[in-house]
Amino acid sequence: MGESVPRFRGKRVVLGVCGSIAAYKAVELLRSLVKEGIAVSVVMTESATRFVRPLTFEVLSAVSTDLFGGRQEMPHLALPGQADAVIVAPATANQLAKCALGLADDLMSALLLNAAHGPLIFAPAMDGDMWGHPAVQGHVDQLRRRGAVILDPEEGLLASGRIGRGRLVEPSVILNALETVWQRGWDLSGQRILVSAGPTREAVDPVRYLSNRSSGKMGYAIAEAARRRGAEVVLVSGPTALARPEGLETVGVVTAEDMLKAMLGRLDWATVVVMAAAVADFRPRRSASQKLKKAQESGGLQLDLEPTEDVLLAVSQRRTTQLLVGFAAETEQLVAQAREKLSRKNLDLIVANDVARSDVGFDSDHNAAVLLDRSGGITELERMPKTTMAERILDAIRRLQTMPTPTAPSRPSGSRSRERGR
């Protein structure tokens, strides 16, 4: 039988090994990484060296254990700078905590603070009770929000003799995670993206409200894709039936007013704002404190509506350097109407949806759109899954970020392109 072709020839990885009983499994992981063509530098914590001798790794890799006095100068800076990814396996509760808190009292923890520009993968291993502890879970959540990939430990027999969730995942799981982050790229690392999604509800009385058909799927897809591409993401969501995405902060809101507060409150934090929510344009001027009775309204019910504040416009007026993306839901003159909104709301990019179509849009898993940008560029995105469209919208954001003059929308004379759904 011939040897399989290495999948990742030319890639470089730092493998951090912490002091867990599972440290010996890192030797097998190292072997698997090397077999796939990856050049690996191993970093061990002091306690890891008590479980496995550095010499065991040195057969296959350079090994560093010391912040000071090693062979390489300033290894905590040099190693992550040269690497295409940093893997910590096994990652202990202590190491997760140190990284979440930003402590840097040894080589491994200092190195992790310098690994922010590339994919960072943690494969924790510990006792089940430790893994389930709220402090550990809090740190895991914090790291995920910052873009780290955490490979949840598996359930099985633990060193304590008990059955629980705490076993280090297999090398194949770590290799698959590497493949995923390298395929997707990590181009949004360092970005803080504020995304709104879903409808708002405006109360008529304690049991009735005005709302719209938005499912939230498009905004959620953008938030999740941005997270996967390395961004920190906050999702401000109106009421939807969707599960809260993992690894990012979701802020639940109900009314347009709540959404306005949630978005403005986080605007200074953000580098990009994507307003995918379908905010109600009107709300009842007065919401009845008691349920409206049919008998009392038998002549018909008149609702007196007042406009809600335009959240996107408010964000646009207060923003400083943030790149701003809006949506336009139109049933006619799609491009002309969207162009008018792009200019009136002073946006960098607008995603124009034809909401009269029944095969895409509201409630559907698919969407079709035209992207109009501030420099006049037009991209037609034919019918495709919302998850794919999310990636295309993020691609457009990346393109705009590398262009000069971030805010002024200009004449509608630019390039036109067409992309098919994949």
For ligand CTP, the binding residues (CB under 6 A) are 256, 275, 277, 279, 281, 308, 310-312, 326-329, 341
212 catalytically annotated: yes
Min dist. Cβ of residue 219 to ligand CTP (A): 9
Min dist. Cβ of residue 256 to ligand CTP (A): 5
User: CB 123: neighbour CB atoms within 10 A?
Assistant: 26
- Given 114, 176, 212, 353, the catalytic residue: 212
Judged by beta carbon, residue 107 or residue 277, the one nearer ligand CTP is 277
Min dist. Cβ of residue 355 to ligand CTP (A): 8
Q: From start to end of 45-151, where are the E strands?
A: 62-64, 85-91, 120-124, 149-150
Judged by beta carbon, residue 98 or residue 339, the one nearer ligand CTP is 339
The encoded tokens of residue 240 equal: 């939807």
Contact by Cβ (8 Å): 414, 392: no
Min dist. Cβ of residue 202 to ligand CTP (A): 10
Cβ-Cβ contacts under 8 Å for 273 (sequence gap 6 or more)? 193, 194, 195, 263, 267, 315, 319, 322, 323, 324, 325
The encoded tokens of residue 86 equal: 């940093």
Judged by beta carbon, residue 25 or residue 319, the one nearer ligand CTP is 319
What whole-number distance in Å separates Cα of residue 46 and Cα of residue 106?
9
Min dist. Cβ of residue 351 to ligand CTP (A): 8
Judged by beta carbon, residue 44 or residue 351, the one nearer ligand CTP is 351
The encoded tokens of residue 32 equal: 């698997």
* DSSP-assigned letter for residue 23: G
| 3 state SS for 288-352 | CCCCCCCHHHCCCCCCCEEECCCHHHHHHHHCCCCEEEEEEEECCCHHHHHHHHHHHCCCCEEEE
**Cis (ω within 30 of 0) for the bond into 90?**
yes
What whole-number distance in Å separates Cα of residue 107 and Cα of residue 65?
7
Judged by beta carbon, residue 156 or residue 265, the one nearer ligand CTP is 265
* Active-site residue set: 212
